[in-house]
Amino acid sequence: MILDSKTPDGPIAEKWTRHKFGMKLVNPANKRKYDVIVVGTGLAGASAAASLAELGYNVKAFCFQDSPRRAHSIAAQGGINAAKNYQNDGDSVFRLFYDTVKGGDYRSREANVYRLAEVSTNIIDQCVAQGVPFAREYGGLLDNRSFGGAQVSRTFYAKGQTGQQLLLGAYSALSRQVNTGKVKLYPRTEMLDVVIVDGKARGIVARNLITGVIDSHSAHAVLLCTGGYGNVFYLSTNAMGSNATAAWRAHKKGALFANPCYTQIHPTCIPVSGEHQSKLTLMSESLRNDGRVWVPKSKEQAEKIRTGEIKAGSIAEEDRDYYLENRYPAFGNLVPRDVASRNAKDVCDDGRGVGPTGLAVYLDFADAIQRDGRDTIEAKYGNLFDIYEKITGENPYNVPMKIYPAVHYTMGGLWVDYNLMTTVPGLYALGEANFSDHGANRLGASALMQGLADGYFVIPYAIGDYLATMPYDKVSTDHEAFREARDKVDNDIKKLLNINGSKPVDHFHKKLGKVMWDYCGMARNADGLKKAKKLVQEIRDEFWSDLKLTGGYDELNMSLEKASRLVDFLELGELMIDDASLRDESCGGHFRSEHQTDEGEAKRDDEHFAFVAAWEYKGEGKPEVMYKEDLVFENVKLTQRSYK
């Protein structure tokens, strides 16, 4: 298979404009003859569904939550980037493009990233028009903050609830289209397969989570906006329900999966407190604007802190190691996420971690409070400090926060071309579900930007180009392909219910998560990965022989939902390991300990690995086959990333 990215010709700044002009259009009166399925109602899905309905397409929108407003995008805290240059500090479309390609450690497709930077400014206009209450300055204009990996202030925010406000904006646009009748909503409904007819995506099979009924939906195109797969690790900052099922099942139907091993570990999360832990809570990276990261210089003092003999406050200034500021004077506490995370791991591995488990570092606001006053800090971070206190019982105004890295985002995802189409014609992937814009590491505040760029400003054009070539005829859900897909889904569910083993789902998920975290997490190496592959296979075998499910088929059965998602995580986990083994270099969030610079930084091998690894499913038990999309850099010079 040759992967054609369909990147348009011409200078980078003109590609999108030219491409838009070159694309076929569907006449306004004919749009109502096409049906589009949008799976997912997060930023990507809600914005796409609303925009397509406004254009006149008939849209069906699906989510597994009880309301589209509860998609996981709601939890994003920090902000959204846009190259508005309102601060007059030297920002531009080109700089946002450049920062994103560099931040991604030169493993993303230039043309996509440029387009993202280009439409970023429209996103802010759109959101403000919808009533998104972004933070403002006294003069009434929009305020900005800076975020990791950038030296300009280009991040727009709404308190510490940016994702919530952006999603509520998109949800309101979606709701308006539900009201006009152009969108039909299917909440508490989980897509379990894509249906392909004559080589094209023509619908989905989904389970009504309340009744258990398995239904088919036919359409002319299917959009997967189903988010990321960070929950493969069991513990992550993702919502409990976030899962890989839609993307993975599409993969098994022919959509290539790109760079599965690229995982982002976020540096500022609340550390794990015990076995009972079900998820990890992110403390927005924006905290690194004012908080200073440190650990004690000596292991002895760290040990005393861990046992509770002394407190952070009793460590003298000269005995503290502000390791990010010391190692990276130019970026200091604002180095990109992968760098910050790895450094936290290093100091903890060195025996200088704090907290009862030793797996934590301090994020200290004492200096900022002294400098700016408590009120200023409260205005900026009040709600984050509250969350922290609720969870840990400690007050960050008085004692430094404790943080540790946690799985947060997956850069890998379904391979898509410039039009966001997967390798299955008519099947698109938007938002975190695709692999396209962040390379091997995503910069803060750019996932929200990408989700909305894809949904509001890219897919409305791209889909027309495809649909214009499609006949209006609908495929009946009695078609054999639909019947087969329904039967398969039905069988799979019955199979799970009939294992009759002895252990509940979480037992297996926790085990998988631990293997993935230990061997395919912040640092990886060939031996560990080999071991992990075997372990994952063992867990999978154990799962299929010893899972215990209660409850029935035709009712709300949340354990069954979890089990069905875990089936896919268990398969995807293995592919992540294969991908991590194949990529015998370090880049961004993928850190192979065999490949580091003398200073412990990720060492890329551009000669051999400047490509996207896209995997093809070959059938049960068969190894997947990898295809390369070579990455060509014409506008950004590949350099060793340096944040010194």
Residues of this chain that bind ligand FAD (CB under 6 A): 39-45, 62-65, 71-73, 75-80, 162-163, 190-191, 225-228, 237-238, 242-243, 245-246, 282, 408-409, 431-433, 445-448, 451
Closest separation between CB of residue 241 and other proteins, Å? 5
Closest separation between CB of residue 339 and ligand FAD, Å? 18
The residue from 337, 342, 486, 583 that is catalytic is 337
Closest by CA position to 260, among listed 119, 407, 397, 415: 415
The residue among 483 and 548 lying less far from other proteins, judged by its C-beta, is: 548
Closest separation between CB of residue 277 and ligand FAD, Å? 15
Q: Cα–Cα distance between 431 and 42 in angstroms, integer?
A: 9
Query: Residue 447 binds which one of ligand FAD, other proteins, none, with CB within 5 to 8 A depending on kind?
Result: ligand FAD
Q: Cα–Cα distance between 395 and 387 in angstroms, integer?
A: 10
Query: Residue 625 binds which one of other proteins, ligand FAD, none, with CB within 5 to 8 A depending on kind?
Result: none
Closest by CA position to 388, among listed 357, 354, 363, 359: 363
Rg of the chain (C-alpha set): 24
Query: Residue 78 binds which one of other proteins, ligand FAD, none, with CB within 5 to 8 A depending on kind?
Result: ligand FAD
Query: Residue 451 binds which one of ligand FAD, other proteins, none, with CB within 5 to 8 A depending on kind?
Result: ligand FAD
Query: Residue 559 binds which one of other proteins, ligand FAD, none, with CB within 5 to 8 A depending on kind?
Result: other proteins
The residue among 242 and 341 lying less far from ligand FAD, judged by its C-beta, is: 242
The edge-to-edge listing of strands for the beta sheet with 214-218 is: 189-197, 200-208, 214-218
The answer to whether the CB of 189 falls within 8 A of the CB of 63 is: yes
The answer to whether the CB of 584 falls within 8 A of the CB of 609 is: yes
CA dihedral 575, 581, 585, 586 (to 10 degrees): 60
Beta strands at 401-410 and 263-269: parallel, antiparallel or unpaired: antiparallel
395-398 CB contacts, 8 Å cutoff, 24+ apart: 396/365, 397/365, 397/369
The residue among 245 and 581 lying less far from ligand FAD, judged by its C-beta, is: 245
Closest separation between CB of residue 391 and ligand FAD, Å? 13
- Cα dihedral 388, 389, 394, 400 sign: positive
Query: Residue 387 binds which one of other proteins, ligand FAD, none, with CB within 5 to 8 A depending on kind?
Result: other proteins
Closest separation between CB of residue 106 and other proteins, Å? 31
501 burial via Cβ count (<10 Å: 0-12, 13-18, 19+): middle
Q: Cα–Cα distance between 582 and 220 in angstroms, integer?
A: 36
The residue among 134 and 257 lying less far from other proteins, judged by its C-beta, is: 134
Residue nearest to ligand FAD (CB): 42
Closest by CA position to 261, among listed 599, 1, 528: 528
The answer to whether the CB of 196 falls within 8 A of the CB of 202 is: yes
Structure tokens at 406: 């946690």
Closest separation between CB of residue 554 and ligand FAD, Å? 18
Q: What angle do CA 44, 46, 51 make, to 5 degrees?
A: 95
The residue among 77 and 177 lying less far from ligand FAD, judged by its C-beta, is: 77
Closest separation between CB of residue 637 and ligand FAD, Å? 26
Query: Residue 44 binds which one of other proteins, ligand FAD, none, with CB within 5 to 8 A depending on kind?
Result: ligand FAD
**Does residue 337 carry a catalytic annotation?**
yes
Q: Which residues are catalytic?
A: 337
